[in-house]
Amino acid sequence: MTTAREIHLTRYPEGKPTLDIFETVERDLPAPKEGEVLAETLYLSVDPYMRGRMRPDVKSYIPPFALDEPLDGGAVGRVLESKVDGFAPGDLVVAQGGLGWRSHGVVPAGALRKIDPSLAPPSAFLGVLGMPGLTAWAGLTQLIRPKAGETLYVSGAAGAVGSLVCQLGKQKGLRVIGSAGTKEKRDWLVREARCDAAVGYKEHDAASLTTALRDLAPKGIDGYFENVGGMQLEAVLNCINDRGRIALCGLISQYNATEAPAGPSNFANLLTRQVLMEGFIVTRFMDRTEEFLSEVAPLVAAGRVKHEETVYEGLDRAPAAFVGLFEGTNTGKMVVKVAE
Amino acid sequence: MTTAREIHLTRYPEGKPTLDIFETVERDLPAPKEGEVLAETLYLSVDPYMRGRMRPDVKSYIPPFALDEPLDGGAVGRVLESKVDGFAPGDLVVAQGGLGWRSHGVVPAGALRKIDPSLAPPSAFLGVLGMPGLTAWAGLTQLIRPKAGETLYVSGAAGAVGSLVCQLGKQKGLRVIGSAGTKEKRDWLVREARCDAAVGYKEHDAASLTTALRDLAPKGIDGYFENVGGMQLEAVLNCINDRGRIALCGLISQYNATEAPAGPSNFANLLTRQVLMEGFIVTRFMDRTEEFLSEVAPLVAAGRVKHEETVYEGLDRAPAAFVGLFEGTNTGKMVVKVAE
């Protein structure tokens, strides 16, 4: 009999999530049945999209989390017991569900993928080689489709997704400008991620950011990878070139909003400049995982792509890690280390 | 020596254009030089996009109109004198510029296309077989790309562009819902344009239009051809399906706005429902004119596409026709008849 420690949601947050809506619960797990494995969690992922699952009343692309049940998400684990062909005790796996926010889980085969630890450390499969990596690759290569010499602006550029977008953009010969909330992150973007420029947003409104972007992107902006929303989108719409492309990946600035924020007031620029804007969810590109890995894994293995991590230690710190996402306490991928 | 009567703009409008910003001026025309024709205007086009050219301070896709010069736009005319190979006196032509808002003009060959009067009456080449027709065809077939069985919503559906979008949508096996401001236009949409339903907007806000659209589009909206903007876009974003497509063609509800209106407050639905929205200007698709005509001209000739016109008689009525666009006095294409 294995006892799992799980983080449950005790009520839905209003506005920014706080630590007191989470609790840790112990639960005895059943033995795995045919087609399942029992695994222990090594690292779990906390991601901004999870905030969207903490709204019981909003129809979204995935169902809301249930109260008094374990939260869920991506996790890397080690197989302890297997009733699935091809998975043996000791194998390292990434689980899309069934292992997140808990110390142990019984996971169905369909949610499992074996990982190759020779490519990168295990936690990288939650970040640069996991869903955030696929998100970055798909938004840039499938939606923005940049041409060498174009200018790319990335909001939330020091995050798990944004930092890979910036680096893939540089690999493709783009001028890349990233935004981040602290000087430390902006220094990292220029020094490590090789961005041509980095810009803050906390000290700007839409008008002053517009002025700043006109300096940093003298030929205008061709592609915008949007992780944040709000006034950054408005500033970009002032600077975007004809036939510009916007990949709408995240709007973290408004995930905690209690009232619907107004859209950009210069919305009409989408029309006059013939801009293409497309929202996307990474699950749409799951069938491109091999193509993504074949492009990005060698860059990671060769050290040509930097992938920062912010690691919170211990399952009990998962709520703090999650809350930290909305305070920008992470550079790169936010993960929680649950076991060695 | 030919004397032309021309409509000039004496000052830029603030908000809705009024008749007193226009004046009629007589001017003697030079003889056509090599590569030009002298033509008399039969019909001229007034279109909502012209409002955008009445702003001296806004960078747009075409330059602003100059004050105390003739306004311009599309027109159908008859050649009086030709210095262009292939054009002879008596030929009927459509001119993209140089003949609009005036009785006679000297037009360069590059702006001229000969028309075949056996296909449709001459004024149709300003509407269903002209730029509005190409706009409708391109937005629907190149941007929305609907599949049979899907649901299409068209705002400004009784206008020159919208009415063709609706009918092409029906040809392609779609459920089509159009919006229009009067009961007379809505009756026309259902009876003549064969829309499945027509809905008003003057009696709605975003919330009540959302409710109405949920009834009229029980399977949700897959494609939206946007001519109007404002709360209709907000209502559509409440009803749009995953992977819906929005062709952003016009935003007539805000062309006269003196302050930038807020974008839709449910903007985030673009992300969560993975919507593709693209602005476009018809000039981008000019090289598809033959393909457009080969699809639409036979439908027009066979009477399978209705194309209403609202005709104002006499050059001096051009300002009233233009102002009328923003009051919805037209069903279908608004034209001014200048001569027989």
Residues B127-154: what's their mean pLDDT?
Answer: 97
Identify each DSSP E strand in A200-259 by its residue range: 221-226, 240-248
The Cα–Cα gap between A305 and A296 comes to 8
Statement: residue B191 has pLDDT above 70: yes
Residues A5-33: what's their mean pLDDT?
Answer: 95
Q: Which of B162, B226, B149 is nearest to B193 (CA)?
A: B162
Judged by phi (left if over 0) then psi (alpha if -120 to 50, else beta), residue B35 lies in: left
- Chain A residue numbers with beta carbons less than 8 Å from the beta carbon of B139 are none
- Chain B residue numbers with beta carbons less than 8 Å from the beta carbon of A270 are 248, 277-279
Statement: residue B29 has pLDDT above 80: yes
- Chain B residue numbers with beta carbons less than 8 Å from the beta carbon of A229 are 267-268
What is the structure's pLDDT at A47? 92
Confidence grade of residue A253 (pLDDT, cut at 50, 70, 90): confident
Residue with the larger pLDDT of the pair B338 and A258: B338
DSSP letter assigned to residue B20:
G
Residues B20-27: what's their mean pLDDT?
Answer: 96
- Chain A residue numbers with beta carbons less than 8 Å from the beta carbon of B145 are none
Sign for the CA dihedral angle at A149, A193, A324, A297 comes to positive
3-class DSSP assignment, residue A166: helix
Statement: residue A59 has pLDDT above 70: no
Q: Are B331 and B308 in contact (CB under 8 A)?
A: yes
What is the structure's pLDDT at B63? 83
Q: Are A226 and A258 in contact (CB under 8 A)?
A: no
Statement: residue B59 has pLDDT above 70: no
Percent of chain A's residues with pLDDT above 70 = 98
Statement: residue A29 has pLDDT above 90: yes
Mean pLDDT of chain B: 93
Note the maximum CA span of chain A. Answer: 64
- Chain B residue numbers with beta carbons less than 8 Å from the beta carbon of A274 are 61, 278-281, 284
B286 part of contact set with chain A, CB < 8 Å: no
- For strands A221-226 and A240-248, give the pairing: parallel
ipTM: 0.86
Report the residue from B60, B273, B276 with minimal CB separation from A272.
B60
User: What does the angle CA B237 – CA B53 – CA B333 come to, to the nearest 5 degrees?
Assistant: 65
Residue with the larger pLDDT of the pair B117 and B177: B177
Mean pLDDT of chain A: 93
The Cα–Cα gap between B328 and B307 comes to 16
Tell me whether residues A263 and B261 touch, CB distance under 8 A. Answer: no
B280 part of contact set with chain A, CB < 8 Å: yes
Q: Are A213 and A153 in contact (CB under 8 A)?
A: yes
Q: CA of B108 to nearest chain A CA: how many angstroms apart?
A: 27
Report the residue from A60, A263, A270 with minimal CB separation from B279.
A270
What is the structure's pLDDT at A198? 98
A260 part of contact set with chain B, CB < 8 Å: yes
Half-sphere exposure of B111 (CA within 13 A, CB side): 20
In chain B, the domains with their CATH numbers are: 2-126+307-337 (3.90.180.10), 131-283 (3.40.50.720)
Confidence grade of residue B330 (pLDDT, cut at 50, 70, 90): confident
Confidence grade of residue A63 (pLDDT, cut at 50, 70, 90): confident
Q: Which of A112, A130, A111 is nearest to A121 (CA)?
A: A130
